[in-house]
Amino acid sequence: MTCVAALVPGLVGSSVGAVCTRAASSRLTPRTVRNLSLSSTMKSKRKTDHLERTASVVRREVVAAAKVCGAARESPSVKSLRLLVSDETFSFKAGQWIDFFIPAVPVVGGFSICSSPRLLEQERMIELAVKYANHPPALWIHNECTLDSEVAVRVGGEFFFDPQPTDAPRNLVLIAGGVGINPLLSILRYSADLHREWANKRSGYEIGTVKLFYSAKNTSELLFKKNILDLVNEFPEKIACSLHVTKQTTQISAELRPYITEGRIMEEEIKGHISNETLFYICGPPPMTDFFSKQLENNHVPKEHICFEKWW
């Protein structure tokens, strides 16, 4: 799924289907979970396998049982899942992904978490959005996964936003292409949670402004657009978005029209947000991440202010 590159030192919800209670728990025992992860690791041998591509990437030791308690169709090609993870030792940072272990499927999936860490802390839930692909874990999610299906998950990844209360306020520019929105949505939602806490209690981390640039083929493939616009409308002084479509063939709704630009995200749009206080997070197809990371470097943005992750 992913390949991690430049990091930011020190830094570095939608309602889907049925509701699960926090008291619910998976029937997978700790021993079963350990055996599942070991078996999948040994059998997962494809050249483009997630485990091989991310073998050098930092992972947490915890492999936790999880239960599917919600599912929804986010677009014609993307299905979202809500997972209950009861294990209190399981945690993640906004932007990270999980190894996804499925009983009877020998190949391990790798999917970015798109929910905020706060949802896990408060409800023991995480959310994923998985694009249809001819790959066993994705096929299982789209064709076989049902409510109460049991899996196991482990957190990994060096692409994340995890500010501490004493850190200086930073502006964020998030640049997403296609399903590359997933880790950036986690960061966006977490930023909104941090701002709520700061506004209500004057405690925690004081976030700067957040601007999301998000490109997809058409408006039906712009994932979580209602959630994104809800955050923009909730915090108009803090959060803004520019949604781009490259192959739109139908009329754009009046609700979306003010936020939509037809055509790709352009370098000039990004350049206007460069400052010493701004961090850039980029996730999308490799040509897109390569282009914007290089353009930012050419415009004298320090490498430590650029964090990107590729998906394919």
Segment 48-80, tens digit of pLDDT: 689 999 999 999 999 999 999 999 999 999 999
User: CA nearest 83: which of 66, 98, 97, 100?
Assistant: 66
CATH of the domain spanning 56-156: 2.40.30.10
Task: Label residue 23 by pLDDT band (50, 70, 90).
Answer: very low
> What integer is the mean pLDDT of 118-147?
97
CATH fold, domain 171-310, is Rossmann fold (3.40.50)
How does the average pLDDT of the chain come out, rounded?
A: 89
Residue 249 has pLDDT above 50, yes or no: yes
If one compares 28 and 227, the residue with the highest pLDDT of the two is 227
Backbone angles phi, psi at 20, to 5 degrees: -110, 150
> What integer is the mean pLDDT of 231-259?
97
Task: Label residue 310 by pLDDT band (50, 70, 90).
Answer: confident
Interatomic CA distance for residues 5 and 88, integer angstroms: 30
> What integer is the mean pLDDT of 126-148?
97
pLDDT at 296: 98
pLDDT digits (tens, 9 = 90+) for 106-120: 999 999 999 999 999
Residue 302 has pLDDT above 70, yes or no: yes
pLDDT digits (tens, 9 = 90+) for 170-221: 999 999 999 999 999 999 999 999 999 999 999 999 999 999 999 999 999 9
Task: Label residue 35 by pLDDT band (50, 70, 90).
Answer: low
Interatomic CA distance for residues 96 and 112, integer angstroms: 6
pLDDT at 198: 96
Interatomic CA distance for residues 232 and 242, integer angstroms: 11
Task: Give the largest Cα separation in the chain, rounded.
Answer: 53
Report yes or no: 1 and 103 within 8 Å, Cβ to Cβ: no
Residue 21 has pLDDT above 50, yes or no: no
CA 296 to chain centre: 22
| pTM score | 0.88
Beta bridge partners of 262: 245
Domain residue limits, the chain: 56-156, 171-310
Torsion of CA 278, 282, 287, 290, to 10 degrees: 40
Residue 4 has pLDDT above 60, yes or no: no
Task: Label residue 29 by pLDDT band (50, 70, 90).
Answer: low
- Residue 220 carries which DSSP code? G
If one compares 25 and 146, the residue with the highest pLDDT of the two is 146
Sheet with strand 125-131: strands edge to edge: 105-112, 97-102, 150-156, 64-75, 78-84, 125-131
Residue 312 has pLDDT above 60, yes or no: no
> What integer is the mean pLDDT of 135-144?
97
Q: Radius of gyration over alpha carbons of the chain, in Å?
A: 19
Residue 43 has pLDDT above 80, yes or no: no
Residue type, 133: A
Task: Label residue 37 by pLDDT band (50, 70, 90).
Answer: low
Residue 19 has pLDDT above 50, yes or no: no
Interatomic CA distance for residues 218 and 201, integer angstroms: 40
Interatomic CA distance for residues 127 and 183, integer angstroms: 11
